[in-house]
């Protein structure tokens, strides 16, 4: 049987091809592709060239463009852990913003790269990325490393004292909204399963819990607050603590949806029912939340918008320019089956 010949690849479209069909010089095409702000041509000509680019499917040579502009056309994003589903939406938003700007996004986790930040800074020093979104566990030492690198960087979803460049969410508002929902249902003994004690996001969500409890004139004894990492295992262990106190809560506000998975498991292991015995609400709304048993009530946060806005600011602002922004919308309460009125014996409004 005769060997089948491989289909010939279509010839690569070049600047010359675009220029010839559009009736302009190659340099004009090049300057349009690279968004040269000093190019002065008629709008009709610019439109004709762009239509020709779209028609022929021309794509600039990334390597050649990098050599001409001394840019890598690549941004970096460092996250704590790919296993945390929260970061999938942040990555999606950042990747979309990078694509809109003609860049690519390289993402890695500090859990998977030894000496993660120094490794990234070394890549930056070699010109492989043009800026860094840092969502890792930021410390004072790492902040000094970022400042010393003299490249654009922005902290994402975290802020510490002395960090002049950050984009975060309104986590305190999320905590307040979650507690308000439980108070409205009639709960009075509400616990908070907080995130890691040193995590910036956890501190802001705890502040929202405390302010909402104070506004409702409800007690916040130390036993009603337990800390855990943002994992199902951490959530399960912390929930066991809350269930072991002398007067267990009738509701718990969980700082993270991944932790809430463990919370539901721990409650089930104790032979209790959600929401009949205890209501559960968590920050962040993932696709999995509606498929848990029972479906989880959440506070949906604008994670994709956070990633998108952070990368926009990284690309637009000067490396030394301060950035302090809170992405506030949309924040939405998603009520499902894991929250309900408390048991009658602990509900002063029950008949």
Summarised one tens digit per residue, pLDDT across range 48-90 is 998 998 888 876 654 444 434 446 678 888 888 777 788 889 9
Q: Return the closest-CA partner of residue 102 out of 53, 170, 172.
A: 53
Decide if 126 contacts 139 (C-beta within 8 A): no
Pick the CATH number of 71-169+304-327 from 3.40.50.300, 3.40.50.2300, 3.90.180.10, 3.90.930.12: 3.40.50.2300
- Predicted pLDDT of residue 348: 46
Place of tokens 């010949």: 5
- Predicted pLDDT of residue 12: 74
DSSP sequence for 2-62: PPPPPPPPPPPP-HHHHHHHHTS-HHHHHHHHTT-TT----HHHHHHHHHHHHHHT----H
Q: Is 186 left (phi over 0), alpha (psi -120 to 50) or beta?
A: left
Provide the β-strand partners of residue 253: 192, 281
Place of tokens 């002065």: 40
- Predicted pLDDT of residue 5: 52
Q: Return the closest-CA partner of residue 178 out of 310, 89, 280, 37.
A: 280
Tens digits of residue pLDDT in 202-240: 999 999 999 999 999 998 888 999 999 989 999 999 999
Rounded Cα–Cα distance for residues 134 and 146 (Å): 9
Tens digits of residue pLDDT in 272-283: 999 999 999 999
Rounded Cα–Cα distance for residues 134 and 127 (Å): 17
Q: Going by C-beta distance under 8 Å and a sequence separation of 6 or more, which residues neighbour residue 228? A: 193, 194, 195, 196, 234, 235, 237, 238, 259, 262
Q: Return the closest-CA partner of residue 52 out of 11, 15, 91, 8.
A: 15
CATH fold of 171-301+332-346, please? Rossmann fold (3.40.50)
Common-topology check for domains 71-169+304-327 and 171-301+332-346:
yes
Task: Report domain extents, the chain.
Answer: 71-169+304-327, 171-301+332-346
Higher pLDDT, 216 or 345: 216
Tens digits of residue pLDDT in 134-158: 886 655 566 666 666 667 888 998 8
Q: What CA dihedral angle connects 177, 232, 241 and 191, to 10 degrees?
A: 0
Calculate the average pLDDT of the chain: 83
């Amino acid at each position: 049987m005769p060997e089948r010949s491989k289909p010939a690849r279509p010839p690569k479209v070049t600047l010359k091809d675009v220029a010839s069909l559009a009736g302009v010089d190659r340099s004009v095409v090049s300057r349009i592709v690279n968004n040269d702000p000093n190019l002065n041509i008629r709008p009709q000509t610019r439109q004709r060239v762009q239509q020709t680019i779209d028609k022929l499917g021309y794509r600039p040579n990334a390597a050649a463009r990098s050599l001409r502009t001394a840019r890598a056309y690549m941004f970096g994003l460092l996250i704590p852990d790919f296993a945390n589903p929260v970061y999938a939406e942040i990555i999606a938003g950042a990747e979309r913003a990078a694509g809109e700007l003609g860049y690519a996004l390289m993402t890695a986790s500090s859990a998977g790269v030894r000496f993660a930040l120094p490794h990234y800074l070394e890549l930056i020093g070699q010109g492989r990325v043009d800026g860094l979104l840092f969502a890792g566990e930021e410390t004072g030492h790492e902040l000094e490393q970022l400042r010393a690198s003299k490249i654009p960087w922005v902290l994402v979803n975290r802020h510490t004292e002395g960090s002049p460049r950050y984009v975060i969410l309104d986590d305190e508002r999320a905590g307040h909204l979650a507690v308000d929902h439980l108070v409205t249902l009639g709960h009075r003994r509400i616990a908070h399963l907080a995130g890691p004690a040193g995590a910036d996001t956890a501190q802001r969500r705890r502040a929202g819990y405390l302010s909402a409890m104070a506004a409702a004139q409800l007690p916040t004894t130390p036993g009603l607050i337990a800390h855990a990492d943002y994992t199902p295992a951490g959530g399960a262990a912390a929930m066991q603590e809350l269930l072991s106190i002398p007067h267990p809560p009738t509701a718990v506000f969980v700082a993270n949806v991944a932790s809430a998975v463990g919370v539901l498991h721990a409650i089930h292991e104790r032979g209790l029912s959600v929401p009949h015995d205890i209501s559960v609400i968590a920050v962040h709304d993932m696709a999995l939340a509606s498929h848990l048993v029972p479906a989880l009530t959440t506070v949906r946060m604008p994670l994709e918008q956070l990633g998108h806005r952070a990368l926009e600011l990284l690309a637009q602002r000067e490396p030394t320019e301060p950035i302090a922004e809170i992405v506030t919308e949309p924040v939405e309460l998603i009520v499902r089956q894991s929250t309900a009125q408390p048991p009658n014996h602990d509900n002063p409004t029950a008949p």
